[in-house]
Amino acid sequence: MSSISEMKWDVVVIGAGMAGLTASVYLARAGRKVLLLEKAVEPGGRAATKNIAGSWMNLGPHALYKTALGILQEVGVTPTGAMPKPNSLLIYKQPKGGDIALPLFQFLLGSFLKWSEKTQLIRFYAQMRKEDTSILQNVSLEKYLETRLPSPRVRNAVLALIRTSTYCSAPDLLSAGAAIVQLQHGQVLYVDGGWRTLVDPLKEQALAAGVTIRCGCPVRTITGNVPEMSVSLKDGVLLKAHQVLSTVGPKETLALLDPALQPEDAAIFEQLVPIQAACLDLVMTEMPNPKTTFAMGADYPWYFSNHSAIAKFSDNPKQMVVHVMKYLRPGEDSNSKQDEHELEQFLDLIQPRWRLHVVQRRFLPHLLVSHAVVDAASGGYAGRPGPVVKGRKGLFVAGDWVGAEGMLLGASLASAKSAAHCIINGKDHSKEGNSLGA
């Protein structure tokens, strides 16, 4: 540790998740001397994958949007995997009580929907594909759908698809513009071997470019301004840097700053509301209903997917990785025991006797999905901070809560590239607020 404290780094990057690793590659390839710090014992953050009972399991269900492939390929990562198949179920409440699981073809072609409802759905998707999302950033998804889909049943089916693509169960908060972009670019991959197959080659690319990576190094404070900045670690080590890039969450970043940002500069960080989910992750030997590989709640914020039906997560052909999830309402408390019981009942409906085939289970009651809802009231993407931190010259941020582009991993990668380019091009204060400064 003393060797890294004896040097002055061009950039200290805090957080070795996907954003931190990606930004460090761009910076090092541009000739910057980069130190990448991670508080955990290994890189990856929320993209970490664990081997559980001989199967590789992500932290909850992960899907890689194909729109993220461009940046991954730029930094030398080419994922392998496959697209989910459209043989899904939609779960509706029945008027007289109980639930009904409708295969997608039956929902579209059967008698469940009236002809007028089918027409609504067809018209919506035809218009959605060419929608100008820039004018919908400050319109809530709830308001947008109510003006286009009078039928509650059709509206809930569309909401189920949007929950799956955004991981957000708050149509009254979520920007319609941001949500529709996710639907327009909705092709995803389930990645073979889990997301460690993204993290590991990213780490290799960073090391090959000359990045110094230190894990088990939690940060205590960030002080100073460009070109004299300091990062102190919780073990007392003091690091010197010209500039600092934080890829941890918004509130975590604010907590590291000494002195604190002025209230008017901190406000854009503080207003962000994280998205969480309750996840039941399973390693199983078989599925009672093997043809059911994907299901969504139309009247419930539920999700089910047998990821092993699409991609490879184990060398054991008799084992499969299954994820069941409840999208939690952002900003509200939830009952963990009730959520777990609800997910078990959901599985009882679509996979009866599933308990007989469980090898191992893991319940994550409050899994952090994203650090921020793309909030319509704040202007959609425009309500997120840009990579250049106003009020602290030399400090930059990246992550799924930063920048005017994308959600989830897409936002993380885009903001990581943007922040790196701002540093490389010397844009440490000329482009503040929400800018992508390429």
In a domain, 109, yes or no: no
Q: Amino acid letter at 330?
A: P
- Which residue do the tokens 């509200």 mark? 332
Claim to verify: residue 399 and residue 268 sit in the same structural domain:
yes
In 10 A of CB 332, how many CB atoms?
Answer: 9
Gyration radius from the chain CA atoms: 22
CA-to-CA distance for 13 and 17, rounded, in angstroms?
A: 11
Q: What is the pLDDT of residue 244?
A: 98
How much is the pLDDT for 430? 38
Picking from 308, 341, 370, the residue at the C-terminal end of a domain is 370
In this structure, the answer to whether residues 384 and 267 fall within a common structural domain is: yes
In the beta sheet, which residues pair with residue 239? 231
Q: Which of 162, 186, 210 is the last residue of a domain?
A: 186
| Residues spanned by the domain of 127 | 117-186
Give the model confidence (pLDDT) of 251-291 as tens digits: 999 999 999 999 999 999 999 999 999 999 999 999 999 99
| Preceding peptide of 301 cis, ω within 30° | no
Identify whether residues 202 and 267 lie together within a single domain.
yes
Residue 95 counted as domain residue = no
CATH of the domain at 381: 3.50.50.60
Quote the pLDDT of residue 85: 79
Report the pLDDT value the prediction gives residue 428, as an integer from 0 to 100. Answer: 65
Question: What whole-number distance in Å separates Cα of residue 62 and Cα of residue 60?
Answer: 6
Residue 55 falls inside a structural domain:
no
CA nearest to 214, candidates 194, 193, 243, 234:
234
What is the distance of C-alpha 425 from the center of its chain? 28
Residue 380 has what pLDDT?
A: 97
Q: Quick check: 314 and 322 in contact, CB under 8 A?
A: no
Q: For strand 219-225 and strand 275-284, is the pairing parallel, antiparallel, or unpaired?
A: unpaired
Quick: pLDDT tens for 398-430. 999 999 999 999 999 999 999 999 999 997 643
Q: In the chain, which stretches have pLDDT less than 50?
A: 1, 429-438
Predicted model pTM: 0.95
Would you say 20 and 247 are in contact if contact means Cβ atoms under 8 Å apart?
A: yes
pLDDT of res. 436: 36
- 380 close to 374: Cβ distance less than 8 angstroms: yes
Predicted confidence at residue 432, as pLDDT, reads 39
